[in-house]
Each structure stands twice: as structure tokens, then as C-alpha cells.
Structure 1
Amino acid sequence: MKEKLLVFLLFLFITSCVSVKKYNNQIKELHTVLELRQDIDFAYSRLTRLHPRLYQFITKEKLDHKFDSLKLAIKNPMSSTDFYRMLAPVVSEIRQGHITISPPFSRFKKKEWKLRRKNKFEFYDLAFEQVNDAFLIQDNYGLDSTIVGSEVLEVNGEPIKQLVANYQKVFSSDGYNTTFKDRFVALRFSNFYLRDKGRLDSLELKLRHKDSIFTKMLRTIPKDSSSVKKIAKDSTSEMNEVRLTRLEKKNKKNLEKIKRKNNYKYGYQESKKQFTRNFSFLKQDSTIAYMKIRGFSNGKYSDFYKESFEKLDSAKAKTLVLDLRDNTGGRLDEIALLYSYLTDKEYQFIKKGESMTRIPFHKAILSGKNPFMLNVLGVLVAPITIPLEYSRTKRKEGILYYKFRSSKENRKPKDLNFKGAIYVLINGNSFSASSILSTALKGSKRATFVGEETGGHFNGTVAGMSKSIQLPNSKVTLSFGLLHIQSPYENLEKGYGVKPDVVIIPNKENRLHHEDPELEWIIEKVKQ
């Protein structure tokens, strides 16, 4: 038995090495015109078969013409990356923000991955922000804080304005708004740069800070090159209380257990040394509660919201600021729970989703891009998941509807629901789930919105479960949502996000002086 197992493991190792080599050779070679045109047809056929709102913001005739024109424009063999640069702008014309496309990257054998994991590229520690008049380094999750706040002028000799303009062509927002493109290209700049240039070991930034212009070389360094640890940011008061002191060392195990529990509750992000969910009362005015949610994707959110609204109730706070800036979305169940604390009326949070298939979960989990074992798992669970999915779908007037837990009618608010004034901070990166939540609050006239238009569509988005496909020849990856999710509230002006009641857009000077003009406006408004 042991010998058979060893033989089987050896077989897997050999086939893995062969497949890595074969895959890397395939993506490096130039693909023929016929192969690339086949990939275009493959991508379009999958979109027409599975995307429920493919022609929401562009007519079928126009989209057909764009894909046909792309095929005619390919007259010479090209690499996978060059093909990606031509295909992505055409796909972006669909104007569905959850459609993403990326070129393939070389794969590594197990030993190579182990070596690479010991290092990190300093470039990926940087967080960027684009304001009206500058492209800024917002934060550095590494050790050099001196460049935070600097304006980026060039990356490896290329003007930042040109790079931003190029990257804005390869993705889209939901509909016609531009705020998402302006914001998201900075939020994910290192990812866009990776797709464009491939993996690099170093690069040079040309920066400006106040009146000084200088260069900063970013390199690949060992992860353990420094023992300096950054202090976690935006922790709640409880998190500050559980930090270890000399007197508490004898209770180390208990404290570590509490810390792990709290990290899970607040959604601690190790790479950024910050929390996804934060709650506090403002120092400027202790009657104003402030809840910053960076995303709806990690941690035990139910405990956080229960704890936060208990504090609101105990403090008898009259005002709550919900900060959804740069929150690109996440779990539907989480925003549905949060909304139940923000309303005092019975409600329906979202309508039933629209789908092109009765088995969206099964379609999402099976993909040629997935690891082999994940597809095996998908096949094994199919006898259970497929009947469940069929029970959730129903066809009505030619449209297939998918029942979510959050689409139940006459839902009741939480007993601890907040009845005071709510202000919501939004910007172009308020997308997907955070935009759906914003629509519910805006439509029910429950909150005042401050900032700029959300990147997500007021009238819903195609997301939920995501289908990822790999084009057979170029190995370019295309991902898109399978379910249209929409609040019962609808705006007659289609193709735009949730618009603020008070428009405030920060600039370079605000960031230079560490100002938050949107939040400061709310504080002054409450005082008045």
C-alpha cells in the first residue's frame, strides 16, 4: 500500500512539473491569428450564455460589431499579454464592473514557490490614492513611512498620467459613471501594473513632496529583513485594552486567545496591520459614533455589529457616521444584517436575483482555471448542490429568478436598531455590496450621503457568484458575475451610482495636511 501511494505521489509530482513547463511555454509563444480569433469567440459565447445583463448598457448590435471588429484587427501572431491589451478594452465596453480580465503569468514549481515566498516586492506594500489634482502614495504597509503623502510623477520612467489613462481602458464601472474608474485605478494600481509589465524585481518611482522632487528605488527584499513591527491601525478601544504589557505576561495565553477572537471579529488584515471593521466615538464630538467598514469579506461580522449597536444604545448616541469610502464590496449577508440595524421598519432588502442558469453555484465552482482538486470537489458535491439550486430558481415571464436569503419580504429590523441621524461617506470605490447597501439607505431616505457618486450602479449589479474561464489558446482569464442583484428601490436615471446629497471631493492639499473634509463637514453640520 505504501509503495502504491509513493508511486501515485511521484506521478502527481512528475505530471505537475510537466504541466508547469508546458503551460509556461504556451503563454510565452506567439499565438496564431486563428487561435486568437477562436479565443475571442470562446469568450463572447460564454458571456452571451451566462451573463444575465450583457446588453444592459450596450446594444447587442453594437457589442457584436465591437467583437467582430476586434477579430478583423488581429492580423499578425501575438503574445498573450499583447492579446490581453487588445481584448480588455473591448470587454470593458459592456460596462459591467464585475467583469475582469487578466493576462496569464508564468507558473512555478513547488521549490520555486518556497523560495519566492521568503521575499517580498516593496512596491506591493504601497497604497495609492488619486485625488483631483494628484496621484498620491496614501500609505506604506512596509517600513518606510517617509514617502507617504508623496505625489507619484513617474514609474520606471513612464509618466503616471499616461499609465493611469492606459489602465482606465481595461476595466469599467457599472454603467456610465466615471468615479469608479478614477478611484479604482489607484486602489489597485500595483495589480494593473503587474498585468501590464509582468513580474518585476525592482522599479523606480519619481516622486514629489511639497517642492522637492526625488526618486525612490523599490526592490525585492527578504520578508524577515527587519524585526520592526508596525502598530495595528484603527483598532477599537477593546483592542487597545488587550495589548500585552509586562504585568499581563503571566496571562499571555488567555490574552492571545482574546486577541485572536477580536482579530476575527474586527477582520484583522495581517499584511496591512489594520482592521476591516472599526467602531468608535469621535474625539472631536463624543456624541457622534463613527463606523469605518473597509470591506464586507472577512471575519465574524455578526459579533461586531451586535457589539457596536449595543454600545450605540448604551451611549444614547444621536448620530452615526457610516464610512463606506474605498469599500469595494463583499458578502451579501453582511450588508443585509447591517441594514437590519439601520432601519426600524419591515423591509425587503433585495429582490430575487436574475440568472441565465438554474445552477449558478455549480457553474461558478467548475472552471478550467481552477486547481484539479477543486473541480473534483465540485463534481462530488453536485448531487447535493444542484437539487438545492433548482429549488431556489423559478422562471417567470421568461426570466429565471434566484432566491436569496436576503430577498425575503417583510423582514423585521433588529431590536437594537439605531433610530438617530445617519450620515454615509461614499466615493467612487464604494462598489458592489457597499453600493447595494447605499441604495437601500438612499431609497428609504434613511441617511444623508456625503462625498462623491458611488462606483456601483444604483439599480443593482451583476455579481453574487463569479464564473472564471481561461481562454484555451492565450490562457487569458475572464471572470464575471452570474446573478443580477438589485434593491427594490430603483432610479429612473439608469447607468449611474448613488449620488451624494452633499458633494465634497478631497484634493492634494487636504491630504498634505491630513484633513478629511467630508467627515469635518458632518461634524460641523451636527454642531450647528
Structure 2
Amino acid sequence: MHRLTLARIYICICFAAMLLPAAAYSQSKAPQTNAGTALHLLPVKNMRNDLTLLWQAIQHMHPAYGLYYPADSLQLLYRQTLAAMDTPATESAFMSHIYPLLSKLACGHTQLKHSAGYTRVPSPHLPFEVLAQHHRAWVTTHQVNTIATGDEIHSINGIDVKHIIAHGYNLYAGDGYNETFKELFLSEYDGFEDACNDLHLQPPYRLVLTTKDGVHKQVTVSMPAGNATMPATAAQSNAVSNWITDTTIADGRLQFLKHQPVAWFRAGAYQYSDTLLFKEVFQHVHDAHTRTLILDLRHNTGGDIRVAAKLLSYLADAPYHMISRMESRIPNPAINGFEQYFDTDRTAGFNEGFYAGKQAGNWYQVNFKPAFGDVAATLPLSTVDHFDGRLLVLIDGATFSAGAHTAAAIRAQCRNARFIGRETAGNEEGCSGGTIQHFTLPNTGIVVEFPWMRVVSVAQHPVPGRGVMPDDTVEYTAADIVQQNDLDIQRALLLVEKYMP
């Protein structure tokens, strides 16, 4: 588990550089400071003015506006959110207040960041962590002996767990109607704890639960004094000993199964250096006469999609497309009427890499400049070390942005691919992304991650608002989490045994 706060979670989940040229990030303008600590109260007028301004920008140009939820429903929720701002509030409370509205945009790239200079006041820590799944919660790691791994929690301080989870779903935006990302956020990045704190649940915590042995009971727990970290989980078990790590590949990301022509490559969030890494990986895969490649896209949260396109060059069946097209809701996103609130360096980056195209229905085409490279064009296969064997792709609720585009492109253009795990966080049909701008609210200094374009995938028959679905769905128990059992790789090895002569 990762002890992160809601204010910092975007660092781990939302990689903003899916398409924007790197130069645009070199001198990003600092947002307006909002002096004070987490206890500083924002005036009602400032909050209302900032929300009104943000909503005007969203209505005008946000690529997800009205895409998954009707515009009239969003407008009603906006009016309700605005009307409910009737008392001064802390910066965190203001952000929590407007997050349900932003969540209804159903865009995982639209997130909030605290103002510059914001000083966070520590909040209570739960003495346990949970696995959130299907709107239920089970204890994983814990620091008190009155609860155990596998206990299902039904309520905390009289609040039903389903309500806590539903509240947590609204504390962070995700793509479409997907829930696997929300579950992962609650389980791995302390989203459940954030939800409890946002609901003002204070220790001691009165839990109603059912033990793993089926006993219904009530217990009261608190964080032990002087102990602010969870105990370490067990070393990863199961088939790890059956793998040989290629020590020439950085971070042990390439392994080979003993006595079998099987390789396992972990393709994490894309780095610019990965283009050279891919060359080395596929050379080693080829030299080992690999017949089955397990491509691990779990927790691949994206990065530069041009790097993702390079990965596809080793996997696609024929010359391929990484994406279908990019489009925006206005003729030129850089000319939008809100220029003073957007980061000027990021705007310059957009102008360096893209230019406005023709109108097509309700959308406007966004074209690539030659210096950037056209990832919507037909791209060639790698002429050396192309992999033609069976491909098993591992995906989960943190396969997002360019990572999800990779999964969608593989599904559409690799006939020997089979997917294992859980629905991706990113929609199979594409996402709002491209240039991820910073929209600074002038009265509070809060920064909004604001995508300018819609990046349409190459998926042939996507279900609107849903991610890439696995062919083999794998679900974990609380004990699996604590013991670090990799059930996805176990399922992959079962398929290897099935298909190997």
C-alpha cells in the first residue's frame, strides 16, 4: 500500500504528458499562492466566483463535457454545487465539494491540485488498510490485533461502508463509468482513508464487521501510539522462483520462465529512454526463441504516446495506427477566451506540436506538426526482432492514458493477444488528453488539470465509457494482497500450460 494523500495522488495515477511536447514542461508557471494552512477559510464569494469561472471554461471547451452524462444533468449539478457553497470553507473542503461535479465529467485527466504554498495539516490515519471491491471492503494490513486480514467491514462509526466507498468514488475523477480505478484508488492509495477523513470519522473507530470465519462482531480500534506505518507485507510468493531475471535490462523488467520459451516484460509508465529499452528487450526475446510473451501493462499510467507507439511496432500484425485521431470542441484550443488562466508554457507547447484542422461534425480536427510526429498516421513495423508469437497482456485499474491506448491498440491490431486481469482505468474508445493544461483559479489559487483535446483510439467496437476488458478476469482476496500473490501471472502461466504442447 502507498501512504499518499488525496492532494498528491495525481502524481501516481495521472501522467499529464501523454502527448504534449516535453519542452512545454521545462518552465511551467507557478500557480498563485493561497497563503495559510489547511485551516485557512476561503470566503464564499471567492469559491463561488472560481467555480463559476471553471464551469464556464468546461462548458466552452472541455472535451468530456456532455459525453458521458447529459449536459442538462451536469448543469443541474453545477447549480446545486454552487448553491451549497454558503459558508466559508478550507481549501480541502472546497476541493472535496466540487470534486463530485468534476467526477461527472468522467475524465480521469481532470483533477485538482492545491494552491502553491498550501500547508497541509495531518489528518488521522486508520489503523488498517482495505481491499475495496464491488462496493465492499475487507481488511488487508492492520496494526491492531482485534481485527484480522480478511475481515469484512460493514460500518465505521455508524456509517455504512457502502456510503464511505460511494463518497470515495467522488473524491477523484476517473474515465467513463469505470469502477476498477476507483477501487484501486480506495485500496492502494489511501483513498478509503481519505473518504473517512472527508466524512469526519474520528478515532476511536467503531467497526461492525464479519470475520473471515463468519463471526459477526463489533470492535473499537485506534492507531497505536508512536506507530504511523503499516507492517511490511510478506515477500511475494508463488511462481517467482521459476523465473530468470535478465540482469542486463534495467530494474529487472524482463524475465524468462525456466525451461519454457516464455518471457515476461513489465512495461511501466513510458519514459523517453524506453525506445532504446524496447530495442534491447525484443532483441533478447527474439534471441531466446520466445513463443509466448507476457506483456505487463498493470499500473502503466501512461506517458508520451510516441513511446507507446514504438512498443506497438514490435507487436502489431501489420503496419498499424497508435490512435485514430485527435479533436477538440473549439476551432483552436489555444484561442479559447480563458488564456490568462491557462499555463502559458503549456500553451506554447501545444502550438509547437499541433495546429488546428477542419471541422468534422461537432468536433474540430487537431493535426500534428512534423516536428512532433504523426501518431495518427500509419506506422511501420520494426524491421528487426518483431514478435510473432502468442501475446498475453496483463491489465488492471491503473492501466491508464497512453497505457490504456496501448491496450486498445493491441486488441485491435494483434490477433494473437489475450488479456488477463481487470478492466483498464482508461476508456477503450479513447480519452480526454493530449495537452493537459493547468487552469489556475484566480481567487483560491487551486489548479485544475484541464485537458484540451479528445484522443480517439483505434478500438473497433468499444463499449462507450468502459475500459479494455480482460478475456480472463482475475479478482484478489485480502489475503492475496497481504501475501503479494500475483494471481494475474498465475493465470497467465495456466494459459501457457494449456497452449504449450
TM-score greater than 0.5 by the shorter chain? yes
Is 1:360–1:465's contact at 8 Å kept on the other side of the alignment? Answer: no
- Aligned partner of 1:255 in structure 2 is none
Report the CA distance between 1:481 and its aligned residue. 1.6
- Aligned partner of 1:29 in structure 2 is 41
Is 1:121–1:218's contact at 8 Å kept on the other side of the alignment? Answer: no
CA 1:85–1:176: 2 relative to 1, 3 Å = same
Is 2:112–2:446's contact at 8 Å kept on the other side of the alignment? Answer: yes
Tell me if 1:526 matches 2:496: yes
Tell me if 1:175 matches 2:150: no
22-31 or 187-196, which moves further after superposition?
187-196
- Aligned partner of 2:290 in structure 1 is 317
- Aligned partner of 1:504 in structure 2 is 474
- Aligned partner of 1:409 in structure 2 is 377
Partners of 2:439 and 2:152 in 1: how far apart? 35
Provide Cα deviations, 1:138-167, integer angstroms capped at 9, x if missing partner. Answer: 899xxxxxx997879699989876644322
From 278, 303, 318, the equivalent of 2:253 is 278
From 263, 267, 275, the equivalent of 1:302 is 275
CA 1:447–1:138: 2 relative to 1, 3 Å = farther
Matched position secondary structure for 1:405: coil
414-423 or 495-504, which moves further after superposition?
495-504
Is 1:121–1:221's contact at 8 Å kept on the other side of the alignment? Answer: no
Partners of 2:289 and 2:125 in 1: how far apart? 45
Tell me if 1:353 matches 2:326: yes
CA 1:85–1:425: 2 relative to 1, 3 Å = same
From 88, 96, 108, the equivalent of 2:99 is 88
Tell me if 1:290 matches 2:301: no
- Aligned partner of 1:418 in structure 2 is 387
Map 1:73-472 → 2, pairs under 5 A: 73-104=84-115, 107=118, 130-131=132-133, 134-135=137-138, 163-189=164-190, 193=194, 217=223, 237=245, 239=247, 266=250, 275=251, 278-283=253-258, 286-293=260-267, 295-298=268-271, 300-356=273-329, 378=345, 382=348, 388-389=352-353, 392-397=355-360, 399-403=364-368, 405-414=373-382, 415-444=384-413, 445-472=415-442
Provide Cα deviations, 1:482-503, integer angstroms capped at 9, x if missing partner. Answer: 2211222232531111111122
Report the CA distance between 1:90 and its aligned residue. 1.4
The residue identity in structure 1 corresponding to 2:359 is: K
Matched position secondary structure for 1:481: strand
User: Which structure features the higher share of helix residues?
Assistant: 1
CA 1:25–1:177: 2 relative to 1, 3 Å = closer
The residue identity in structure 1 corresponding to 2:178 is: N
Matched position secondary structure for 2:35: helix
Partners of 1:66 and 1:185 in 2: how far apart? 24
Partners of 2:377 and 2:63 in 1: how far apart? 23
Matched position secondary structure for 1:24: coil
From 49, 58, 69, the equivalent of 2:60 is 49
Is 2:330–2:364's contact at 8 Å kept on the other side of the alignment? Answer: no
The residue identity in structure 2 corresponding to 1:178 is: E
Across the aligned residues of Structure 1 and Structure 2, the Cα RMSD in angstroms comes to 4.7
The residue identity in structure 1 corresponding to 2:274 is: Y
Report the CA distance between 1:462 and its aligned residue. 0.6
Partners of 2:80 and 2:482 in 1: how far apart? 46
Provide Cα deviations, 1:57-88, integer angstroms capped at 9, x if missing partner. Answer: 12222212211222223333333333222211
Is 1:318–1:421's contact at 8 Å kept on the other side of the alignment? Answer: yes
58-67 or 514-523, which moves further after superposition?
514-523
Provide Cα deviations, 1:308-328, integer angstroms capped at 9, x if missing partner. Answer: 111111111110111222322
The residue identity in structure 1 corresponding to 2:388 is: K
CA 1:510–1:331: 2 relative to 1, 3 Å = same
CA 1:495–1:210: 2 relative to 1, 3 Å = closer
CA 1:362–1:465: 2 relative to 1, 3 Å = farther
Partners of 1:127 and 1:317 in 2: how far apart? 40
Partners of 1:177 and 1:443 in 2: how far apart? 20
The residue identity in structure 1 corresponding to 2:445 is: K
CA 1:131–1:85: 2 relative to 1, 3 Å = closer
Partners of 1:490 and 1:349 in 2: how far apart? 13
Partners of 2:195 and 2:183 in 1: how far apart? 19
The residue identity in structure 1 corresponding to 2:407 is: S
Partners of 2:59 and 2:50 in 1: how far apart? 14
Is 2:174–2:181's contact at 8 Å kept on the other side of the alignment? Answer: yes
Partners of 1:129 and 1:66 in 2: how far apart? 30
From 455, 477, 494, the equivalent of 2:464 is 494
Partners of 1:139 and 1:446 in 2: how far apart? 42
Report the CA distance between 1:346 and its aligned residue. 0.9
Is 1:330–1:433's contact at 8 Å kept on the other side of the alignment? Answer: yes
Matched position secondary structure for 2:170: coil
Matched position secondary structure for 1:435: helix
The residue identity in structure 1 corresponding to 2:395 is: I
Partners of 1:100 and 1:65 in 2: how far apart? 21
Partners of 1:525 and 1:442 in 2: how far apart? 18
Partners of 2:495 and 2:236 in 1: how far apart? 31
Which one has more relative contact order, counting CA pairs under 8 Å at least 6 apart? 2
Report the CA distance between 1:196 and its aligned residue. 5.5
Is 1:131–1:508's contact at 8 Å kept on the other side of the alignment? Answer: no
Map 1:2-17 → 2, pairs under 5 A: none
Partners of 1:395 and 1:196 in 2: how far apart? 48
CA 1:301–1:334: 2 relative to 1, 3 Å = same
From 44, 69, 76, the equivalent of 1:65 is 76
Partners of 2:57 and 2:37 in 1: how far apart? 26
Gaps of 5+ in 2: 1-31, 214-218, 229-234
Matched position secondary structure for 2:253: strand
Partners of 1:358 and 1:388 in 2: how far apart? 17
Matched position secondary structure for 2:167: helix
Matched position secondary structure for 2:410: helix
Aligned length: 441
Report the CA distance between 1:43 and its aligned residue. 1.0
Is 2:304–2:402's contact at 8 Å kept on the other side of the alignment? Answer: yes
Is 2:282–2:387's contact at 8 Å kept on the other side of the alignment? Answer: yes
